[in-house]
Structure formats: C-alpha cells, structure tokens
Structure 1
Amino acid sequence: MELSDVAAFVKVVQAGSFTQAARLLEAPKSTVSAKVAALEKRLGVTLLHRTTRQLRMTEDGESFFKACSQALADISAAEASISSKQETPKGRLVVTGPVDFGGVLAIFLRSFLDKYPGINVELILSNRFVDLVGENVDIAIRAGHLKDSSLVAKRLGSMKSGIFAAPSYLKTFGEPKHPKDLEKHACIRFTGKDEWHLENKGKAISIKVDGRTMVDQLPAIKDLVVNGLGISLLPTFFCREDVAKGRLVPVLTDWFEAPTPISIVYPAEKFQHPKTKVFILECAEVIKKYYEF
C-alpha cells in the first residue's frame, strides 16, 4: 500500500475538501483525487461520498481514517523527535494575530529574525477567527476568552482598557467625573458594541453609550480620539505613547473594563518543531513585558 495515498486521504478528511487538501499538500487537486481513488480501489471499498457541495466519509472511511490518522501522526512525531535533537530553528513560520497587535509583533520580529536567520515569518494580521489547522497556520496570538478546542493555549496575561480623550475635547466638553456622565458625551465606539462595562474595586456599572461614530478598527478609533472627535474605551497599552506625548488623557482613571485575556494558541503536537518552540517562548516574554497586565 502506498503511504502517500493514505496520507492524501487523511489530509482530505482533515481539510474538508480535495481543493484545500491539495493546497496544503502542495500538489494538484487531480493528483490528490487520483491517490484517494487508487486507495479505494486497492481496499475494495468506498471511503468518501463526494458531491459538488459536500464530502462525507462512509462507515468504512471513518474506521480507516481513525486508524490511519493516528498512525501518520505517530510517524510524524517520530521524525520530529529525531530531527529536533539535531536541527537548529529554521523554515517558514506562519503567525496570525489581531490587527491591533501589529505594532508589538513588528517590534518583536525585528530582534527575532536577527537572532534566527534560518526562520522566515509570514505574519497575517486579521480580526477574523483564523482556522489554524485548515489554513495551515502555525501560531495565533488571540485576545479574549477562548473556546474549548483541540488547540493548545498558553495564557500570557490580561489586557486592560480604560477611557481616553484628547485635551482639546476635554477643554471643549469637560471631563466626566462618573461613568454615567459618559452618556452625555460623544463616545466613539467599536462597531456592534453599544455598552461599556466598567469596574472599580469590586463595583461594576454598564453604560449605554451613544455617538455618531462607530468604527471596526481600534487604530482608527484612537486617531479619531486624538483629533478631538470624541471619547472612547481603548486598551491602555495602545495609548501609552500618546499619553506620554500629551495627545491623550486618561479619564475616570479608577474605572476599567474587565481584563481581556491574551493567549498564544497552536495546534497540539507530540513534538514541537524548533522554529515553533523558540517563537512561542520568546514572543511570550516580549508580550508580557509590553502589555500592562
């Protein structure tokens, strides 16, 4: 039995389609399809029911997939175990994170790439939920509470968010003294978020915020606030430089949004590739130092 045929079948099931499997295997779709067909012919059974819109395993396919996926994982782990003992970190590493983390990741990558010249990094900045396995991504930096999954998550800490405004705005409209005063201000809010939940030493309050401006990117919200168009709830790390230079002023400094967890997430593997291991360890240290936890 050709091991490559088995590997093609397993990858098709994992990826959910022949097209995606072909991309991950870096092979023509016709080749992947031919390998699965050859495997079915040798076994004398149908492993997959195919339609133009759906791919579904047969009962025989499910049994075969369960056994073979574990066997292939064991082979891959064995290879990684041996090579990791001798190999220096090198190869292509695909990393994703929210758009707002681009600044700190850029700072980190400058020193990381100098230290590991054998590693090439593709950085995907996106606020959508990236499927690490399906899209062949090695590592994700994620903010917020994570759903249960087969991925491994390393909690780094928590990110604070507070209220900020420009000096020009406060000079014109005055400074709120209590969270309820925000209802009378021009609050610039993230798209779809019409309430701010603030906490102060065990006390909590929810404020219905209104304003003429909604934006779906934090950098744009901060720019609007810096230019005096309103007041907003922003991550404190994101405003650190503007506060230091006098462009922004923290407001209601005893009130903050509940801390948002920050985690590094990656697919579970028995043996981590050296390039993945060093990125996780070093990026975790930089993020811990950069963010206010």
Structure 2
Amino acid sequence: MADADSSFSQLLQPKQDLQQQEQETKNQLFVAASVPASLDARYKSEDVKPPPNFAEVELAMTDAEKAKHGDCGKVYSDPQFFFSEWEKEEEVRYRKQMEAKAQRKKEKKARKAKEKALKEKERGLAKQKTVTAKKALNWKNRYNLDDVGNMRVEQTISQANNHNLVSTRQLETGNVGLNTVDKESSVAQAMRAGGERGGRPMPAKTVMPKSALDMSVLSGINGGGFQLKKAAPIVKKVDPKMNLLASIKKQQGGGLKKVDQEKVKAERRASTKALEAGGGGMFGGAGGGINAILERRKFLAEESDDSSSDEDWD
C-alpha cells in the first residue's frame, strides 16, 4: 500500500521536479549511496582504483571555481562519457570507410581511362585499314585494273610523271610540240599501258559459224524469194452440253417460257377447296379435313416462298 502511494505521489510531481531528480541521479553516479551493490563491490576490489572523495575535493574548491564549474559532482562525473567515446570511434570508422571508397573510385576511374584509350587505339587501326582498302578500290575502278598493288600503281604514276617531265623539258628548250590535249592523252596512254601490263586480256567474242542452208534461207527471205505461210486457224472444240442447250432452245422457239404464277396459285386453291369439301380421294370423307389442313399449310408455305422471288422459270 505504501508503494502504491509513493508511485501515485511521483505521478503527481511536476515534470520539472522529475527532470531535476533524474539529473541528480546521473550526477551522483560515483556517490556511495547511489552505486549498486555489484558496482560497489568492484570498486572496493584491488583491481579497480577507487574514485576520489568528492566531499574532500569540494572543500578545496574556491567559490569562484564553484560558481564557474558547479559543484564537484558535476565537474568530475560525466554521464555522457561512454556515448562520447562511442561517437569518437564511429567518427574514426566513418573516415576509414570514406578513404577506402575514395580509393576504389580512383582505381575505377583509372581503369576506365585505360579501357577508353585501348578502344580509341583499336578504332584508329580499324579506320586506317578501311581507308587503305577504299583507296585500292578507287584505283581499280578508275583505271580498270584487275590486280591493283602498290608496285603496279607506283609504276603507272612514275610513267605518267616521266612523260610530263619530258614534255616540260621540250617546252623549256623551245620545242613546243604538245598542247594541253596532247599532255592528257599521253598520260592516259601511259596509264593504259600500265593497266595492260598488269591486267589480263579480254577474251575474244566467239561467233558461231552458220551453215550454207541457213545462209540461203536468210538471203531468200531478204530478197523476197520466199513467202511465209500463215498459220492455220485453231478450231475450238464445242462442249457437248452447249449443243444440248442449243437444241432445247430451238425446240421451244428460241426462248424459255415464263411460268404464270397466278395460274399455279389458282390450281392450288382449287385443289385445297376440293379437299376441304371431302373430295380428297382415298383420304377423303372423314379424313378429308385433316388432309385439307395439311395441304393448306403446304400451299401457304409455297406461296410465301414464291412471293420472295419475282421471276421463276419452268
């Protein structure tokens, strides 16, 4: 009951009083009255140096020191000591992680730069090979050379240059015998000569010999001695079904007769009335009414079908 009253009284205490009590408990960490029994036993053992007596130290403090730093418990006891030590260790660990990350980033950047340099080198070599092949193809298409090699092209160019050199010397000595057109033709001849030396000759066109009979027939046609015959006309075979259809049309006067729908309907009405009257043959008499009804249904169904089509042919 006493414990319940004390807890209830603590709940009724102001918040400021609770904070002050908590602060006093933290400041009295090394006071013998507030130390737990296990911790007190460890302090009293030989392995641990006991803390100073704050009461004796506080007597040696001046009033100015007390006013500046507070009482002895606040000066020499730090409840945040372990948290401060943990914070220092975390800061050291964080710095080591950042240094390792910066080193990895530096190595990755150097590796990428090396790979980029290798790719640029490979791209330059591939481009140079492509240009060389393209130049050789242009020479082959321009001068109609089947086998274009460095030696053959150099010989052709040297021949053209030598020819131009001779023409220039003739102009300097006064022997003006070549104009611009002659120069171009001489260069073309030199290039053609180089191409003929290096290329294979074109095969001669083979002409099939003609016999004497073929020649005589051709000469007769050209001279008008022969008359070509016209082809006989092709006779198309007539299908037997078409003959049968033609004979039927001929027998009926050349056309099909249209069925008189009114006449057909009148005949059906007459037969229906006869059945209703009992003149239905072997089904007449007592069974005439049933036959009449069936016949009438059939007549109405056929009449509806006939009304859907405008023209019926027999």
TM range (shorter): under 0.3
Larger strand fraction of residues: 1
- State the TM-score, normalized to the length of structure 1: 0.11
Structure of greater relative contact order (alpha carbons < 8 Å, 6+ residues apart): 1
Larger helix fraction of residues: 2
